[in-house]
Structure 1
Amino acid sequence: MLPYPVCALALLLVGCSTQGPAPVLRGATQVAPLTSSELAQSDLNRMATLGMRDNLDSLYRLLDKLYRRNPSEWRKTGSASREAAVQRVRNAIENRTPWPELQGQRDIAALSLALSPEFRGDRVAAFVYASADMLITAHDGKTTFYLVDGLDAQHIYNAARNIESAVWLLATRRSAAGQPLLLADEMSERERNLSFEREFGKIVGRLDLLSGVLTEKYRRAVITYVQNLAGASFLQFLPVR
């Protein structure tokens, strides 16, 4: 019979050998460097700013993915490469420069035009630009938010529903030739690609969260006001002589 210390060591070694593989690292949360402008932001302002940044990044990823699936679209622009076409659309969004093929339309009017079967321009660029313009419009035309800014919860909520409608139209509408307006998600016997749906879902989720927080903000303000009124009479000092 083995001595007790030897048995304990053997059990420890067996336990170690039966453990599963080390967890796979899939990145880590990133902390942005602190800037002086953040001193003029509330927690809600910061949340809205980060949400807008992430939503635009999602649209840029979708822009590149849609161009990969529909290379004929970026070639309509005369760009030298897909990367150049992506950068061109991105610059127009960030500089709030009107997209020529949308004929001066902005917001939901631009989105409707980009998803119409009759549209003949670069549909990928028009669709992503119009989606971004609609999101920025819903955020009062801003992408960064400070204490002096206010956001309408209903507008943010409506933007989320607009994204859902746009994704459904993108998946169901057909051209005059019976082809999808743009190739996106694919489900077949050989491939199952739902990455587009997941990316759009992230945008909708962020918008719904912000809308809910905005609504709760005003609700809590009313509750706090009532609590202060109700508690005022109980929190007064009383005479002791």
Structure 2
Amino acid sequence: MRWLPVLLALLVVACATRLGRDGRSESTVDLKYLAKTEVDRIADTDRTEVVGSLMLIADKLYKRNPKEWKKAGLSSREAALERLRQRRQRSLPELGGLREGQAAALAFSDSYTGDRVAALMFGLLTMVDAAFEYKEEFYILDGLNETKLFNCARNMDVAVWKLGHDRDPAGELYLLSNAIDGNGRNLSFEREFGRAMGLLDLMAQVVADRNGRGFSRLSQAVVTTIFLPVGLVK
């Protein structure tokens, strides 16, 4: 139950209150809230925070690589971000129907000429969608798979490594991320990826505990530079 303090903290935040007409605080708990277990509520928060981190990373990448969204014929960075937000309703034509790891890998392929930020972030976001069983809210009978969550976390690490190491034939990084500025090395990308990774690892531990399965076997995974499967995990 190492995650219990985090769970309690999230529950405190989740228990919103409002002022009644007499000025006293009243609970806003409703039937939807009562239909959720503690794990459901932490899953809601965890997923929202992970997606938020990835969208922030996408925004940062577009700011550092503005030529990428222009490749898709879009009018602005905001339009490029909106395409990522709408990924559940429509795919990205330039990806040829690819999702998850296959889409993310295109960002570091010399033969790919499309929006590399879109390829990477669409891939990572659809991994998160798959890890959370394509749901945005969770209720008592909903189940999650700790291996999917764990693999998704490891893929964030793979993305960080590729951003810092994968180069085109001319020796240039495919995408600019962390940088060295006047104040030293800027590691904002790594920090945000690390936050998403930590949230996914926490959720994997919570789910493993709820499912009554040991988590130690997952920690034996070998570090790799290849994106691990998420949606195909049983």
Per chain length, whose mean CA-contact separation is higher, i.e. which structure has more relative contact order (CA < 8 Å, sep 6+)?
2
Task: Provide the residue aligned with 2:73 in structure 1.
Answer: 78
Task: Provide the residue aligned with 1:173 in structure 2.
Answer: 166
Identity of matched residues, % = 41
* d(CA) in 2 for partners of 1:81, 1:155: 34
Task: Provide the residue aligned with 1:12 in structure 2.
Answer: none
User: Per the alignment, in what secondary structure is the counterpart of residue 219 of structure 1?
Assistant: coil
Which aligned runs of 4 or more in structure 1 are off by greater than 3 angstroms?
A: 29-36, 188-191
Deviations 1:116-155 (A, max 9, x none): 2322101111111110001111222222211121111111
- Does the 8 Å contact 1:156/1:210 carry over to 2? yes
How does 1:1-241 map onto structure 2 within 5 Å? 34=29, 36-91=31-86, 93=87, 95-187=88-180, 191-219=184-212
Q: CA deviation at 1:30?
A: 7.7
Amino acid at match of 1:139: F
* d(CA) in 2 for partners of 1:171, 1:118: 19
CA root-mean-square deviation:
2.0
* d(CA) in 1 for partners of 2:55, 2:175: 16
Deviations 1:25-44 (A, max 9, x none): xxxx6865755422221110
Higher helix share: 1
* d(CA) in 1 for partners of 2:94, 2:169: 20
* Segment drifting more, 140-149 vs 52-61: 140-149
Query: With structure 2 as the length reference, what TM-score do the two structures score?
Result: 0.74
How many residue pairs get matched?
190
- Does the 8 Å contact 1:185/1:194 carry over to 2? yes
* d(CA) in 2 for partners of 1:157, 1:62: 20
* d(CA) in 2 for partners of 1:117, 1:200: 24
Amino acid at match of 1:177: A
